[in-house]
Amino acid sequence: MNLSDRLHVRDAVEADLPAIISLILGGAAIANQHGNLNPDDPSLVETFRLIDADPRQRLVVIQLDGQLVATMQITYLPYFASGSRWRAQFESVHVRADMRGRGIGEWLIRWAIAEARQFGAGMIQLTSNKARKDAHRFYERLGFDRSHEGFKLKL
């Protein structure tokens, strides 16, 4: 049985939050990148519920033989440019550190691209920390272009 036959994607449930936070922290490009992100923070449950209730948001987890090994969030944005088509935003794409290099990330992104097409998105955008050089090569290998420079302002 090949890897893709053993992978399963499903919508995240509230009980997945500790594992999702662990994946996010494990994928941080620099120490403390995500501040004081704490799996026990009650506001995470509210955030999860907001994402879960929004039909333009999807938080998924990927299981390999029943073990949670990856996660990502997809947000669909209405957009005037590009013919007023939907734009898919990929965020928090993380594969468990001990599972990287096995094709799980590629499988996940290809699955997400198909989902975005089915939703009607005309473009996919994502950001990646500048320190994550391996991730940049990964996205370029999958056909993503470095077309824009991103900016963030913490409030």
Domains and CATH numbers, the chain: 3-141 (3.40.630.30)
pLDDT at res. 50: 96
The label of the residue with tokens 């198909």 reads: 114
Say what the pLDDT of residue 28 is: 64
For position 11, what pLDDT does the model report? 97
User: How many CA atoms does the CB half-sphere of 9 hold within 13 Å?
Assistant: 18
Reference 64, options 93, 105, 92; nearest CA is: 105
Q: Give the pLDDT confidence score for residue 27 in this predicted structure.
A: 72
Contact 123, 87 (CB under 8 A): yes
**Residue listed under structure tokens 């990856």:** 70
Task: Report pLDDT for 105.
Answer: 95
What local confidence, expressed as pLDDT, does residue 81 receive? Answer: 76
Helix runs in the chain, H state only: 3-6, 17-26, 42-53, 81-84, 104-119, 133-141
Give the 3-state secondary structure of residue 112: helix
The series of mean pLDDT values per 10 residues for the chain, 155 residues long, is: 89 94 77 63 91 97 95 94 86 92 95 96 91 90 91 83
